Amino acid sequence: MFNIKYNIVNLVKVLLSVLNMVLMLRVFNFSQESDLYLLAYSIIYTFNFIPLLFIGQFMQFYNDLKAKSTASAHDFYNQSIVFTALLGIGLFGLSYIFLQSLLHLHTLSIDVERFVLLTRLMRIMVFCILFLPLLALLERIFMAEKQFFMLYVCQIIMVLLPVLSLGYMLLTHQANIILLAESYTVSVVFAVVLGLGTVAVRTIPFRFSWPSSSLIPFIKNSFSTHSGIAMTNCFMPIILNNFLVHFPNGIISCFYYSRNALEATHTVTTDYSIRLFLAEVSAHIAQNNLSRITPLIKKYLLYVPVCFAIISLCLYAAIPLGLKIVFMHMNLAVDVSLFKTLFLYLIPWFVLSLVSHPYYAVNLSAKNSRSIIAANLFFVLTLWGTLYFCYKNIYYIAWALFLAQGAYFLICLFFYVRWRKQCRPKSV
């Protein structure tokens, strides 16, 4: 579960992510501009998951084909590239045409002034949607081939350009949120071009292969398996953003900075272990080595959630000192205790999501679509039901996420136990 080389590269990515957050805090503080950029980013982020409806099971099908024939697996990848590129064009076209409706869906109660700036940001960042399906496919081929180094390099590029633009703003004493949106968009394009080139040169030579009927079972299984995942990751930002826009300027930034800080901690402590776990589970199920699943889960649970919880609590204790260093000779736009308390209250949600992951991964690799749909449906309904009547307290958002994750965990565990019973050899 631990690899020095990959964790060093992952650490570089996380340090850049932290630097990106620190520079954003320094340049924009907890302001209206940072609120709207983070809202726009969260809307674009949902489009990372829509492609999963069509290509989410790529790694599982690729591993199945590769176990039989490498040539068939490579042809499957080339067909998937063409299909995914067409998917990106379609999603971008629809998003661009219905941009206003998309924004209203996420921010029903936002005022006109903030909506105008949010629209300007989205008209730039919407071009990311053209490339996000390819990025999702690249992530899966890198995981299937266990080329985690290049996966992290592409992710580093997506953080590096925004960091450079923020550094430029800091040095020139300007706060240009439009420039930040432009740099993020360019970084996504660059990461996709580098990833496609690397796969073509080092792993699978690209040969144009028009999608054939052989992709239909793959797309059907992806849709049935990942409709739940896509549902959660599309509806969760809608629910959260509509909750957050009721609060004054700076509160949205406070929530997303807290969440991003925990996600950075999650990435550096557990990201490689999670990706490796999913890749190994997928391979073992494809090869019918089911006896190795339970030891993998035990090893994962002993290391990953515990490591994350300990490091997160240490960071929580260091928040006041960290904010003093970042905002040296500057006034904070929000109370330090608000940021610190949100950070603490979000930790249980992250820990429970890590505990849920091995059971989700097994259900996913076993192509048990009903379990994924049920778990994600209960997550969305619990989150919406909890926040619908709680618009007065920002801290309710953390407890709502924890309760929703609890429902998700119980459903995943139930279907995992049932799958294990079905896989046991029947006594004669």
Checking if the pLDDT of 203 tops 90, the result is no
- Residues 141-200 pLDDT 10s: 888 887 878 888 888 999 999 999 999 999 998 889 999 999 999 999 999 999 999 998
Q: What distance in Å separates the CA atoms of residue 95 and residue 313, rounded to the nearest whole number?
A: 40
Has residue 172 been placed in a domain? yes
Of the candidate ranges 73-82, 127-136, 333-342, the one whose mean pLDDT is the lowest: 333-342
Residue 2, both tokens:
């631990």
Q: Which residue has the tokens 């826009």?
A: 245
Checking if the pLDDT of 85 tops 90, the result is yes
Has residue 406 been placed in a domain? yes
- Residues 222-232 pLDDT 10s: 887 778 778 88
Q: What distance in Å separates the CA atoms of residue 261 and residue 175, rounded to the nearest whole number?
A: 22
The Cα-based distances of 356 to 85, 274, 349 in angstroms read 32, 11, 11
Q: What distance in Å separates the CA atoms of residue 176 and residue 172, rounded to the nearest whole number?
A: 11
Of the candidate ranges 4-18, 57-71, 110-124, 149-163, the one whose mean pLDDT is the lowest: 4-18
- Residue 426: per-residue pLDDT: 45
Checking if the pLDDT of 84 tops 50, the result is yes
Has residue 274 been placed in a domain? yes
Has residue 428 been placed in a domain? no
In the chain, what are the helix, strand and coil shares in percent, each to the nearest 5?
Answer: 85, 0, 15
Q: What distance in Å separates the CA atoms of residue 155 and residue 37, rounded to the nearest whole number?
A: 19
Q: What is the largest CA-CA distance in the chain?
A: 78
Q: Which residue has the tokens 């690249």?
A: 138
Averaged pLDDT for residues 42-47: 90
Residue 122, both tokens:
């989205």
The Cα-based distances of 286 to 68, 74, 339 in angstroms read 11, 17, 45
Checking if the pLDDT of 352 tops 90, the result is yes
Has residue 176 been placed in a domain? yes
Length reported for the chain? 428
Has residue 47 been placed in a domain? yes
CA-based nearest residue to 50, from 235, 274, 182, 189: 235
Quote the domain boundaries for residue 290.
Answer: 4-422
**Within 10 A of 97 (CB to CB), how many other CB atoms are there?**
10
Q: What distance in Å separates the CA atoms of residue 313 and residue 398, rounded to the nearest whole number?
A: 16
Checking if the pLDDT of 124 tops 60, the result is yes
Looking at the structure of the chain, the number of domains it has is 1
Number of H helices, E strands in the chain: 17, 0
Has residue 427 been placed in a domain? no
Has residue 162 been placed in a domain? yes
